[in-house]
Amino acid sequence: MARIGIVSNANANRGRNNGFHAGLVQIAQNRPSVHHRITRSPEEVADAVCSFYQEGIEVLVSDGGDGGLSELMTHEIRFVHAPHILRYSPFGQRLFVPLNTGTVNVFASHLGIDDPIAMLAYLESASLDELRANAQRFQTLEIAVEGEQPRYGFMFGNGIMHTAFTLYDEALQKSRNAFWAVLRILGSLASKRVRALYKPITAALEIEGHIAHGKPSDYTTMLASTLDLTIPVPHLAIAPFRNANLGQFNFLTTRYHLGLWKLLGHAYRLVRGEKPEGKDFVNTFVPSVTIRASRSSLSYMLDGTNYTISGSPYEKIKCTVSVGPYVSLVGVGR
């Protein structure tokens, strides 16, 4: 039987699963193989991760929403999956299970985790070998602003792009100015079916651009504005999505993902100098964008609407988005 450690985000279940935390406390009291911590801050999350290592926990369970999942994954990777960061890896890689709790947890739903109670029952009844056999490995995204520790999350759904924009906002507040953004994305995107995982689709992108100082309320608009036609794109190679594979992932559940993939698709067309054919995702989801930039302002047309953002000369505050380590996650009935 696996030793299970559950980290509950105290702020994640307001108005949903109100009695779930209390139920977890009861379960942990009655079963020695289950350990439970309720956290109220990032510092408490980090402490829970460290404590579970000292207790020999083999399966780390996230009880919270998308934001809590990203926070827990950040500390998990810092202490385990990326030992070169803190050189702290006494137990090696352990399994990670995101419960479908909190306000929303798109990634848990993607793994097939619908009922958190059923998921816990499965974890308790299965052997560690069975859990490992049913686990899927996913790459994570690493997001960082210069001078700050990186944060981690998954490519799909779980608020990681919101984390990126939060870092952008922090950079804007510190500089009181516009900033230079560098996006580096390299990931494996695979279509998930009930019976099998299809061949991963590899995407690689490096874009340099700038976002003018302004209200960051509409992230789709701001993300679309990061591409400056006067700045070269060093490298871009995007394999197109075919058939209905795009629908297997919740790419477009938030405006953050919509903006990102619009940007990727537009960059694809710019660099290749050709219009994708067939059912490529860029042919469906990319808007018509015309961008003109100067040192103090940025003007562009998005879907027929003109936008202008003005700001002071740009400061070079870098934000990077790159591939982090692989993480093994467990779903139900795999």
DSSP letters for 137-150: EEEEEEEEETTS--
Structure tokens at 284: 């469906």
Helix ranges restricted to H, the chain: 20-30, 42-54, 66-76, 83-86, 106-110, 116-125, 128-134, 160-175, 219-224, 255-272, 281-285
Give me the helix-helix angle, 160-175 and 66-76, nearest 10°: 80
DSSP letters for 88-140: --SS---EEEE-S-SS--HHHHHTT---HHHHHHHHHHS-HHHHHHHEEEEEE
Within 8 A by CB and 6+ apart from 9, the residues are 39, 63, 64, 65, 67, 68, 71, 72, 102
b (16+ CB within 10 A) / e for 117-150: eebbebbeebeeeebbebbbebbbbbbbbeeeeb
Q: Give residue 87's pLDDT.
A: 40
Instruction: Starting at the earlier edge strand, list the strands of the sheet with 201-211.
Output: 179-189, 201-211, 235-238
Q: Give residue 14's pLDDT.
A: 59
Give me the helix-helix angle, 42-54 and 66-76, nearest 10°: 50
Bridge partners (DSSP) listed for residue 184: 206
Q: Give residue 35's pLDDT.
A: 92
Q: Give residue 36's pLDDT.
A: 92
Q: Give residue 82's pLDDT.
A: 57
**Segment 59-107, tens digit of pLDDT:** 999 998 877 888 888 888 877 765 544 443 444 468 889 888 877 777 7
Picking from 120, 109, 113, 89, the residue whose alpha carbon sits closest to that of residue 24 is 120
Q: Give residue 276's pLDDT.
A: 38
Q: Give residue 244's pLDDT.
A: 24
Strand pairing class (179-189; 201-211) = antiparallel
Within 8 A by CB and 6+ apart from 26, the residues are none
**Residue 53 φ then ψ, to 5°:** -65, -45
Structure tokens at 269: 């067309």
Q: Give residue 189's pLDDT.
A: 27
Low-confidence ranges of the chain (pLDDT < 70): 13-18, 81-93, 139, 141-148, 154-325, 332-334
Residue ranges of domains in the chain, CATH in brackets: 4-138+326-330 (3.40.50.10330), 178-314 (no CATH)
For the full predicted model, state whether its pTM sits above 0.75: no
Bridge partners (DSSP) listed for residue 260: none
Cβ atoms of residues 321 and 143 within 8 Å: yes
Phi-psi region of 92 (alpha: psi -120 to 50; beta: other; left: phi over 0): left
